[in-house]
Amino acid sequence: LNGFEGKHFISIDQLSNEELRGLLDLSKKYRDTYGKASTVDPITAPKPLTGQSVSMIFQKRSTRTRVSTETGMTLLGGQSLFLGPSDIQLGVNESMRDTALVLSRFNSLVLARVFSHNDVLELSKHATVPVINALSDLHHPLQTLADLMALEDHFGDVKGKTLAWVGDGNNVLHDLMLGGAKLGMNIRVATPEGYEANEGILETTKKLAAENGTEDVFLTTVASEAVKGSDVVVTDTWVSMGQEEEYEQRVKEFDGYQVNANLMGQANPGAVFLHCLPRHREEVSDEVFYSPQSLVFPEAENRMWTVMAVMAAQLGKL
Ligand code: CP
Ligand code: NVA
């Protein structure tokens, strides 16, 4: 992770394979050091980010991203500042550019959850400290680190394993397919017509798949076709934040996409289920969501170990 210091964390494709490996390994190291199973006294545990701070701009709601970042930063000895939509001048009286320039003078890092991906790009263009994308309409790279960590915890090496996405072609899918391909996973994606993944990101995934020796990315509109032969089945909400008005329409168009016992039964024996949360019953049945096959709660916990790794690596203070 030597070269990672000072870099922004905007999308998974911007990481080299070595950086992705390094961040996952550091996340596991932090879990060993600071986790519930650790024997280290929290008072004497290392505090590599003492004196550092992260400003957290949230234009949308969050449970995991906010709490994992605030708690993780505290464990590492630093401070975090939550800036909700009505807490700062951004968007009303002040531009993203000026916000970036000002926050960079107070804080060591700026994290942002935004609607338009262009906003996080604008932030990173002008900030003079490292920026973390905490979800935009196109990318959710922090989530992918947590997901890949959960899969490595379960399977060990994931190279050659097959990941099936069933649902909306959204931000969570985008980074997960980029990251999965980087680790040598075969990617299979089922999305309803009109809800496909972003074309440019699909192209990048296909390129990464070829580079990392996986099967070509398989695309379909039939959920069971994607799931057949898979070791991991993943979904997310059908209605992302900001799309609430499309709820009725989407629920109709995603008919047949619920991950339930019948669909899981078409995956390989021992297949596992992932969901970034928050979750609704329409996209996954209780039976699957609370089953032993479901890794959703370790996956959520990993959000903390992984964001800690990103912040420490960006600051070059592991
Ligand atoms: N998975 C995730 O990003 O959750 P929050 O929206 O609660 O942060
Ligand atoms: N795709 C969802 C993920 C929430 C964590 C959204 O953007 O709302």
Quote the ligand 1 centre to 155 CA distance (angstroms).
24
SS3 category, 111: strand
Of the residues 276, 295, 300, 311, only one is catalytic, namely 276
In whole angstroms, give the CA distance from residue 318 to residue 313.
6
Reported for 197-202, long-range contacts at CB under 8 A and 24+ positions apart, including other chains, are 197/169, 197/170, 197/173, 198/138, 198/169, 198/174, 201/13, 201/138, 201/174, 201/177, 202/177
User: Which residue CA neighbors atom 5 of ligand 1 most closely?
Assistant: 62
User: Is the minimum distance from the CB of 62 to ligand 1 under 6 angstroms?
Assistant: yes
Quote the ligand 1 centre to 318 CA distance (angstroms).
25
Active-site residue, 84 included: no
Asked if the interface predicted TM-score (ipTM) of this complex is over 0.95, the answer is yes
pLDDT of residue 38: 83
User: Which residue CA neighbors atom 2 of ligand 1 most closely?
Assistant: 64
In whole angstroms, give the CA distance from residue 122 to residue 100.
8
Quote the ligand 1 centre to 145 CA distance (angstroms).
13
pLDDT tens for each residue of 260-306: 999 999 999 999 999 999 999 999 999 999 999 999 999 999 999 99
pLDDT tens for each residue of 79-116: 999 999 999 999 899 999 999 999 999 999 999 999 99
Show the DSSP H helices in the chain as ranges. 17-34, 64-75, 96-106, 117-126, 141-155, 171-182, 199-211, 223-227, 247-253, 261-264, 286-289, 296-314
Question: Is the pTM of the predicted complex or chain greater than 0.95?
Answer: yes
Residues with CB under 6 A from ligand 2: 135, 170-172, 236-237, 240-241, 276
Quote the ligand 1 centre to 44 CA distance (angstroms).
30
Task: List, for the chain, all residue ranges whose pLDDT scores fall below the cut of 50.
Answer: none
Residue 305 phi/psi, 5-degree rounding, is: -60, -35
